[in-house]
A and B are shown apart, each in its own frame.
Chain A
């Protein structure tokens, strides 16, 4: 500890020595709405800083005149020349521009910077990603090559060979537990409430804990400073409305969404057995036009009625968070956050697959965050502490069958402490951080290092190594349509011999931009332990647990190229990857391991108001546990009965074979229109899975189908067949 304290003191002295130099404090805003723009890159020569969640930035140690280059996805890059230190806060307004697919590869004109290497930012609701049935926030993450989904119908992002449960989801910087609708087919945060969703691969910034893998950072919308905005979006699945405005210097925004058919039924005075409601609210108080705080509220509720109209299943998410600068002086800032979240789910005697399920789950959290940061010149020092209280109640009762029960009810206090130091050493930009998470007698140190080296105006190289840990497990289900689509299982590290999930990550990245051509690549690898997943029924043993603990290792190469022209923009991605697990009997492929991924997305403007898009995706086969033998059970008794049952399969080594590849083509067509009083809108049509698949993995046929089948051997068949899915969307805004 004394060495760490010494390093912090030395850094403070080094950073402090330069603090007398000229500085610029600024804010980046949207020119149309005056909304602050976080994660904008502000560059001076080889230096780059990111605007914070209030759109603010500080540059010090400047020599005037100075030229700032400000870039952000979805905006025209702005050049600002300043002759002398500004008296107040410098306001830089970025003009929105039509986002092109290629922007997802390397954003920003003339800037090949990969600040935040292994990170993709995806604007939502801009039609950037070709529509897939119905727009979905987390499904759009597939614009990043690091992300796949287990099937066409899953919204859960699988990131670089790890289950979605290993990643953390952040809404406006606050941990958001389990935001999914029925069957996790859709995420519960309406796209209309979101400005941008970013995906950051591990190792993460030291300020992010609670994740052993990646982080999905969702940035909600804010209301405009002047004027009012609002709109409606209608699709076959959901009906959403949103509105934003300013009240007494506070920018307000709200969005709500519900199931289309449920809303229609309610209008008609009828009841529909399934429904959901989502609500997002944000408030941004300002002082002199500069935001001083941000408050976020999100709530979502799903309900499935039983035959009597009561609740057969109900679940929901609640999040309330606030963030403000408690103190800001010169180059120092103390940011305070507070949050409360709750995820609850109840299942009352649901009959599923011959089993009866009762669930009473609660995951409640309340916490604070304090982060002090000091920035001078190319150096930035941050220290933070995140105390949190949580209650984890996980009560699952299963009547017969193979589903996994649970019985936990724990209150606990957790603490996260971190520090990071960023600096430029010659051309090399580095960020060195250390995080420590502790709860219930278990603690995990997580060192993280990132470095970037620009090689001229076109190339940049990056490297990162680090550890991420997770002290509460969300137990994964390796099957594409597994049991845990119905409920959640949590396990707490330190209890009952459960270890923390701890993964060491490394990656090498490169970015290149020449004219309209862009290229980004990454080599990544990881090795970790403490993975928890439901034991597949075929691998269960008598007296064994229904979940298992093991090690993980991954490796891969991601390449994504982009091209942007006047009317056409496209990205082409290729990923080679390996993801394996060792459950105690040697390394085997992870159930969702896909060796090759090719994904093409293209968008083309057709005339002044039409836009067409196409997505083509091919994935090599997922692993398959082969059937080695077929057995017809029948236990003889003294009465002469053999009690014949249906045939059963005796499986070979888990995931030792490969199934069949999957392939899909989606088409989208969008027409913009303009209405009276400045209103505008779009109508879009989409065809998902135009080629009728194949889009699902294969599995052995139902054993019952073997009986009376004539004389043929066992067949492997697709999990399910999916026809072409037509859809539409109507968006109107003012």
Chain B
């Protein structure tokens, strides 16, 4: 059961409307050696990858240990390709960005949760939602605190009209993602499916709507 060669892991989620896109490139761990929990970053000298799309072709630029970025406009309903090599091995992947994502409810930029009314079903708090997406495989909602740590992940299904939150007052942000098929098969799944040929990982895309969260 000895593993084969080292496996490059590419993880990048293109988010439409963002100025920069970020990638994380690491080596997979071997099951035959002690598991450290901290992935081994791929050296920038081993990386020769580009992302191509309607806005042109951009190379991945190193930002730090295993973290890379590209500056490329990501447009809804558009297709992007990842191609190049890592340590000489060919890597490729394709993603199709979802077409549209409307968060009709909650409508305000900042969601206000009133304990007396929204948390009557304690320990759950409920807020109405009305979400619709085109070209997306899944919608995922992250609840983050002020330091951007993800504290709760919610996966509504079609027809859901209520979002149930755990009443922690340090929850300050809501991130609504409409994920493409690649991201839906990889992010927050027990058995992620890779969309990267020649390696393992995610080359996916999403439409993102951010909301503030205030408790009173």
Name A's B-contacting residues (CB within 8 A).
354, 399-402, 537-538, 540-543, 624, 626-643, 645, 647-650, 652, 657, 700, 706-714
Contact = CB atoms under 8 A, between A and B. Distances in A.
Interface residues of B, number: 52
A700 B1 CA distance: 12
Contacts of A713: 30-35
A627 B13 CA distance: 25
A542 B22 CA distance: 22
Given A540-B193, A542-B181, A624-B1, 11 more contacts: A399-B155, A541-B193, A628-B7, A631-B28, A634-B24, A634-B39, A635-B13, A650-B194, A711-B34, A713-B32, A713-B35
Interface string B116-133: 000000000000000000
Interface stretch (B49-57, B78-86, B182-190): B182-190
A652 to B, nearest CB: 7
A606 B193 CA distance: 60
Given A629-B29, A652-B3, A636 B23 contact: yes
Interface string B60-101: 000000010000000000000000000000000000000000
Contact of A706 (B32, B35, B39): B35
Contacts of B182: 542
A628 B4 contact: yes
Contacts of A399: 155, 157
Given A628-B31, A709-B35, A633 B186 contact: yes
A626 B2 CA distance: 9
Determine the main DSSP class of B at the interface with A: loop
B86 to A, nearest CB: 14
Nearest to A399: B157
Nearest to B66: A636
Nearest to B38: A632
A638 B193 CA distance: 23
B194 to A, nearest CB: 8
Contacts of B11: 633-636
B190 A402 contact: yes
B34 A629 contact: no
Contact of B195 (A542, A631, A637): A542
A635 B191 CA distance: 16
B174 to A, nearest CB: 13
B207 interface: no
B167 to A, nearest CB: 21
A276 B195 CA distance: 46
B42 interface: no
Given A537-B191, A629-B29, A657 B34 contact: no
A641 B28 contact: no
A27 B212 CA distance: 85
Given A648-B191, A713-B33, A635 B19 contact: no
Determine the main DSSP class of A at the interface with B: loop
A200 B191 CA distance: 39
Contacts of B3: 627-629, 652
A402 B191 contact: yes
Contacts of B192: 631, 633, 648
B134 interface: no
30 contacts: A354-B190, A400-B155, A542-B181, A543-B181, A627-B1, A628-B7, A631-B7, A631-B28, A632-B29, A632-B39, A633-B186, A633-B187, A633-B192, A634-B24, A637-B22, A638-B18, A639-B148, A640-B148, A641-B150, A647-B35, A648-B190, A648-B191, A650-B7, A652-B4, A657-B1, A707-B35, A710-B34, A713-B32, A713-B34, A714-B31
Given A626-B1, A643-B150, A713-B31, A636 B157 contact: no
A707 B37 contact: yes
Interface of B: 1, 3-4, 7, 9, 11-13, 15, 18-24, 26, 28-35, 37-39, 67, 142, 144, 148-150, 155, 157, 181-182, 185-195, 200-202
Given A635-B24, A713-B32, A645 B188 contact: yes
Specify which of A400, A629, A707 lies most central, judged by the most chain B CB atoms within 10 Å of its CB.
A629
Nearest to A646: B190
A631 B201 contact: yes
Contact of A629 (B15, B28, B144): B28
Contacts of B191: 402, 537-538, 540, 648
Contacts of B34: 710-713
Specify which of A631, A706, A712 lies most central, judged by the most chain B CB atoms within 10 Å of its CB.
A631
A647 B150 CA distance: 17
A630 B202 contact: no
B13 A637 contact: yes
Contacts of B144: 641
A496 to B, nearest CB: 20
A627 B200 CA distance: 14
Given A401-B190, A641-B150, A709-B35, A635 B200 contact: no
Contact of A542 (B15, B150, B185, B201): B185
A706 B37 contact: yes
Contacts of B4: 628, 652
Specify which of B12, B19, B20, B30 lies most central, judged by the most chain A CB atoms within 10 Å of its CB.
B30
A649 to B, nearest CB: 8
Contacts of A707: 35, 37
Contacts of A643: 142, 150, 187
B13 A630 contact: no
Contacts of A400: 155, 157
B21 to A, nearest CB: 8
A234 B189 CA distance: 45
A82 B82 CA distance: 89
Nearest to B204: A635
A644 to B, nearest CB: 9
A420 to B, nearest CB: 48
Contacts of A640: 148
A641 B149 contact: yes
A576 B178 CA distance: 52
A630 B186 contact: no
Contact of A402 (B22, B23, B28, B189): B189
Given A628-B3, A657-B1, A636 B190 contact: no
B149 to A, nearest CB: 7
Contacts of B35: 630, 647, 706-707, 709, 712-714
B187 A635 contact: yes
A388 B51 CA distance: 58
B8 to A, nearest CB: 10
A181 B32 CA distance: 41
